[in-house]
Amino acid sequence: MEFKKDKYIKLSILDKQKYIKLIKDKFERCLAKELDLVRVSAPLLVTEESGLQDDLSGVERKVKFDLLKDGKEIEIVQSLAKWKRFALKKYDLPLHKGIYTDMTAIRRDDQMDEVHSIYVDQWDWEKVIDRSDRTIKYLKQTVRKIVKAVKQTSDYLKKFDFDSVDICSKVYFITSEDLLKMYPNKTAKEREYEIVKKYKTVFILKIGGKLSHGAPHDLRAPDYDDWELNGDLFFYHEVLDMALEVSSMGIRVDKDSMLKQLKLSDKEYRLNFEYHKMILEDKLPLSIGGGIGQSRLCQLLLGRYHIGEVQSSYWDDENIKKCEELGIELL
């Protein structure tokens, strides 16, 4: 990543905190309005047998501990992708209504760098849909609404004496396979960079399944997103000259797509979990949902070099030393 110092605006820690609050409050309101969502509380802790833990790409270690009273083993959530769908049923939400929540998690295996942290904070959201909505068209409509909320938040910041980053409101959509064909000799991350630098706001469709060269664009758990109806939302981050992923989202699996993806991933043992049984028995609503990184969005709109400028987390000596040398003040 290249640090473009001429694009970097110095801010005091107090000013950063002020703008972080403005961004989070404004974006929440915009997101809830655009997607017709209501805020709910969410768990930090789940049990393995519930099947509600998000396994992400399937290799990350969870943070676990046992309880003093009964020895029960508890896991800290890695995301709420599965819990949210269960919550839609619990709250008995009608068609095209949804929920959002503040999700905090610990991902112990995540790397630490300018845009990654072991502490995760995001808005997790989920919305009830009809079977007829399980289309690329509906997915794209939802992505455009989220980008509209980001754009509204960026414009709002300008009212508070801060020259916020300009957001391109026009979304460029491309499938991961078409992106591979466009840049066949580049890695997935290099392909993301090339397309996002060109179009500024990009949604890469269909992530998780194998592409024509024999590997997926990126790994995805097999039991929450339908790999044919999902994707990642990127914005061009000028200060770092990079493609910054702000959201991963998608239309969730139905019975058929879950069975197919579990088989492809050799994860069919999960069919014994309560969550998976409920999908097989059509006891959970069809839905669309995703996560939107809170710190990532603040980093984007405030043009920050390091994610540690907009969140308090643990940083190793390498990150601390690098930021000190560049004059970057972490929270």
245 catalytic? Reply is yes
Catalytic one among 124, 245, 254, 309? 245
Q: What is the spatial distance between Cα 16 and Cα 20, in angstroms, rounded to a whole number?
A: 6
Instruction: Look up residue 242 and give its two tokens.
Output: 């990079």
pTM of the model: 0.91
- Tell me if residue 190 is catalytic: no
pLDDT of residue 79 exceeding 80 = no
Q: Say how far apart CA 184 and CA 231 lie, in whole Å.
A: 20
Is the separation of the CB atoms in 154 and 20 below 8 Å? no
Mean pLDDT of the chain: 90
Q: Which of 107, 220, 252, 304 is catalytic?
A: 107
Q: State how far the Cα of 201 lies from the Cα of 238, in Å rounded to an integer.
A: 12
SS3 helix, strand, coil % of the chain, rounded to 5?
40, 20, 40
Higher pLDDT, 213 or 56: 213
E strand or H helix at 122: strand 119-128
> What percent of the chain is modeled with pLDDT above 70?
96
Q: Mean pLDDT over residues 220-232, rounded?
A: 93
**pLDDT-based confidence at residue 234 (cuts at 50, 70, 90):** very high
Catalytic residue among 122, 152, 261, 287: 122
Angle between the 294-301 and 13-35 helix axes, to the nearest 10 degrees? Answer: 110
Q: Which two tokens stand for residue 308?
A: 């540690």
CATH ID of 5-167+253-326, from 3.90.550.10, 3.40.50.300, 3.30.930.10, 3.50.50.60? 3.30.930.10
pLDDT at residue 21 tops 80: yes
In this structure, what token pair is assigned to residue 173? 């959509």
Q: What is the pLDDT of residue 176?
A: 96
The mean pLDDT value for 306-328 works out to 90
β-pair type (172-175, 201-205): parallel
Q: Which residues contact 225 (CB under 8 A, 6 or more apart)?
A: 81, 207, 208, 249, 250, 251, 252, 253
Asked whether residue 5 carries a pLDDT value surpassing 80, the answer given is no
Catalytic residue check, 54: yes
What is the structure's pLDDT at 57? Answer: 58
DSSP bridge partners of 101: 124
Confidence of residue 68 (pLDDT cuts 50, 70, 90): confident
Please confirm, yes or no, whether 107 is among the known catalytic residues.
yes
Average pLDDT over residues 139-149: 98
Q: Is 331 in a helix, a strand, or coil?
A: coil
Give the burial class of 92: count Cβ atoms within 10 A of its Cβ; 0-12 exposed, 13-18 middle, 19 or more buried. exposed
The least confident of 121-130, 299-308, 322-331 is: 322-331
Spatial CA neighbour of 218 closest among 173, 180, 169, 271: 180
Catalytic residue among 79, 248, 287, 299: 248
Q: Residue 246 — very low, low, confident or very high, per pLDDT cuts 50/70/90? A: very high
The yes-or-no verdict on residue 253 having pLDDT over 80 is: yes
* Catalytic option among 225, 232, 254, 309: 232
Give residues with Cβ within 8 angstroms of 281, minimum separation 6: none
**Which H or E element spans position 65?**
strand 64-66
- Of 144, 135, 210, 208, the residue nearest 171 (C-alpha): 144
Query: Which residues lie below 8 Å from residue 15, measured CB to CB, with a gap of 6+?
Result: none
Is 248 designated active site?
yes
Residue 265 is among the residues annotated as catalytic for this protein? no
Give pLDDT, residue 331.
80
Percent of the chain with pLDDT over 90: 65
Of 54, 133, 223, 254, catalytic: 54
What confidence tier does 242 reach under pLDDT thresholds 50, 70, 90?
very high
The pLDDT confidence band at residue 224, using thresholds 50, 70 and 90, is confident
